[in-house]
């Protein structure tokens, strides 16, 4: 009998491109996503009634820094003790932070509680990348893009449905703080499900191999890893410039109501969930070309937010965006781990995200400065869109110097849709 802590051996049977072990993990991560999505969409509105604007800024900064700390730490820990145990650790600070924020909604405790939540959430995000990487390694890289996208299908579905459920509960009389309790309860369910339901994806022999090597392994990630990271820095910087202010742009300059924006956001997430299987298969046909397509595609979407207008136009470009996001996730994550040894893949994924998140955080203040000077968020998004288009050039150069070895041969074959 297979115990939860014992790695499940690879087997041929797949449903939607995932093994049974990965479907278990995907469903539990969906529960964890609910525990975040049910309250985060209106968190800024909630705390605006409790704290001053500068205190809001410190709260979000504390959360970003805690998340940045948790990203690399989770990757390192999971390589040494396994994905399942690391995932269970994640829910403890999340639950404490959510229930504490509900019980003690006062300054200066807000930043500390929010940081706890974001620290734990970083662990969840990285396990959603590291566990499928384990399976990809066992499969020899075949269908890697589909594996990385399908693991997120329940999470994106929950990200789309949770705001709709929350809106209904608020209209039914639930106070905004009640959503924090709902989120905290979700983390407890996720913890229990992880303990009972989730199977380990990283074998004990690989964990032992990871523990026997160096803890810090930046050079050991390989030259391809750092070349890819260098090629993507530019586009990630534009994310830092724009994404924190997307809601402000939509509400203030597109003149879309907050509730309408919530619906559009939900529909975009549901679109990503729907496209997860097909987008991953498309990316698997050629990982390099897929990533080269996704970057200018995203740049045009950013420019669209700067130049266009109208509720239905906003809905259209955000639904269209979903396709680009799926292709991006599939290609990027496959390329990150393609040259990394199996005992270092958790650290590779977390190191990559930590580097990119650092640049994003740095650019948040630059975006705020451009907004302040120009007095117009459309100007900010236009500048970011142009930078994103230009970032295609260093990425193309970087990809020319990356050798895919045998992983480029992971073309989707003429298998049935549900193999």
Q: Does 60 have pLDDT greater than 60?
A: yes
Q: How confident is the model at residue 3 (pLDDT cuts 50, 70, 90)?
A: very low
C-alpha dist (Å) from residue 75 to 28, 69, 152, 348: 19, 11, 18, 8
- Of 132, 142, 163, which is closest to residue 342 (Cα–Cα)? 132
Q: Taken in order 158, 163, 164, 166, is the CA torsion positive or negative?
A: positive
In tens, the pLDDT along 255-293 reads: 888 778 878 888 888 888 888 877 778 887 888 999 999
**The pLDDT of residue 221 is above 80:** no
* pLDDT level of residue 408 (50, 70, 90 thresholds): very low
Predicted TM-score (pTM) of the model is: 0.79
Beta bridge partners of 15: 18
- Confidence at residue 395, expressed as pLDDT on a 0 to 100 scale: 93
Cα atoms in the Cβ-side hemisphere of radius 13 Å centred on 359: 15
Per-residue pLDDT tens digits for 14-45: 676 778 888 889 999 999 999 998 888 777 66
Q: Which domains does the chain have, with CATH numbers?
A: 20-404 (1.20.1250.20)
Neighbours of 5 (CB within 10 A): 12
* pLDDT tier at 7, thresholds 50, 70, 90: very low
Residue 249 and residue 305 in contact, taking contact as beta carbons nearer than 8 Å: yes
Q: Cα–Cα distance between 14 and 16 in angstroms, integer?
A: 6
- Token pair 């050039």 is at which residue? 393
Across 368-380, average pLDDT: 88
**CA–CA gap between residue 8 and residue 163 (Å, rounded):** 35
- Let me know if 414 is exposed, middle or buried by CB neighbors in 10 A (0-12, 13-18, 19+): exposed
The mean per-residue pLDDT over the stretch 366-386 comes to: 89
What integer is the mean pLDDT of 228-237? 92
Give the distance, in angstroms, between the CA of residue 302 and the centroid of all CA atoms in the same chain: 19
Give the span between the Cα atoms of 32 and 90, in whole angstroms. 10
pLDDT (tens digit, 9 = 90+) per residue, 152-204?
888 888 988 888 888 888 878 888 788 899 999 999 999 999 999 888 777 77
Task: Give the closest residue to 159 by CA, choosing from 253, 37, 314.
Answer: 37
pLDDT at 219: 64
DSSP letter string, 254-270: S---HHHHHHHHHHHHH
329-372 tens-digit pLDDT: 888 888 887 777 776 777 788 888 888 888 888 887 788 888 88
Average pLDDT, the chain: 82
What per-residue confidence (pLDDT) applies to 216? 55
SS3 content of the chain, % helix, strand, coil (to 5): 80, 0, 20
Quick one: CA dihedral 363, 369, 372, 378, positive or negative? negative
Query: Residue 400 burial by CB count (10 A; 0-12/13-18/19+): exposed, middle or buried?
Result: exposed
Angle at the Cα of 224 (from 322 to 325), degrees rounded to 5? 0
**Strand partners for 18:** 15
d(CA 257, CA 343) in angstroms, rounded, equals: 48
* The pLDDT of residue 298: 94
What is the C-alpha separation between 265 and 244, in angstroms, rounded?
A: 14
């Amino acid at each position: 009998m297979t115990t939860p802590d014992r790695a499940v051996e690879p087997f041929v049977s797949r449903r939607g491109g995932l093994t049974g072990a990965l479907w278990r993990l995907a469903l539990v991560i969906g529960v964890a996503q609910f525990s975040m999505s049910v309250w985060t969409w209106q968190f800024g509105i909630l705390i605006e009634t409790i704290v001053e604007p500068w205190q809001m800024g410190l709260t979000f900064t504390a959360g970003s820094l805690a998340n940045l700390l948790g990203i690399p730490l989770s990757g390192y820990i999971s390589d040494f003790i396994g994905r399942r145990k690391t995932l269970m650790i994640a829910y403890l600070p999340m639950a404490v932070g959510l229930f504490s924020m509900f019980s003690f909604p006062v300054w200066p405790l807000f930043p500390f509680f929010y940081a706890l939540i974001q620290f734990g959430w970083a662990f969840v995000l990285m396990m959603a990348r590291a566990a499928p990487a384990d399976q990809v390694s066992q499969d020899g890289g075949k269908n890697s893009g589909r594996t990385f996208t399908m693991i997120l299908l329940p999470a994106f579905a929950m990200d789309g449905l949770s705001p709709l459920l929350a809106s209904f509960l608020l209209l039914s009389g639930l106070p905004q703080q009640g959503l924090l309790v709902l989120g905290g309860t979700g983390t407890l369910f996720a913890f229990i499900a992880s303990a009972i339901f989730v199977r380990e994806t990283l074998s004990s022999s690989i964990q032992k191999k990871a523990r026997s090597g160096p803890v810090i392994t930046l050079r050991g990630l390989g030259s391809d890893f750092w070349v890819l990271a260098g090629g993507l820095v530019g586009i990630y910087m534009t994310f830092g410039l724009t994404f924190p202010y997307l809601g402000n742009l939509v509400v203030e300059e597109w003149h879309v109501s907050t509730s309408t924006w919530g619906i559009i956001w939900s529909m975009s997430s549901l679109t990503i969930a729907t496209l997860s299987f097909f987008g991953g298969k498309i990316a698997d046909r050629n990982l390099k070309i897929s990533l080269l397509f996704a970057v200018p595609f995203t740049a045009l979407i950013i420019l669209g937010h700067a130049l266009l207008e109208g509720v239905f136009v906003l809905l259209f470009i955000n639904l269209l965006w979903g396709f680009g996001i799926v292709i991006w996730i599939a290609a990027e994550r496959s390329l990150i781990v393609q040259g990394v040894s199996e005992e270092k893949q958790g650290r590779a994924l977390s190191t990559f995200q930590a580097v990119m998140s650092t640049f994003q955080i740095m650019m948040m203040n630059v975006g705020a400065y451009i907004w302040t000077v120009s007095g117009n968020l459309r100007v900010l998004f236009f500048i970011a869109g142009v930078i994103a288009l230009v970032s295609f050039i260093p990425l193309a150069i970087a990809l020319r110097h990356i050798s895919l070895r045998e992983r480029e041969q992971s073309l989707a074959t003429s298998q049935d849709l549900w193999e």
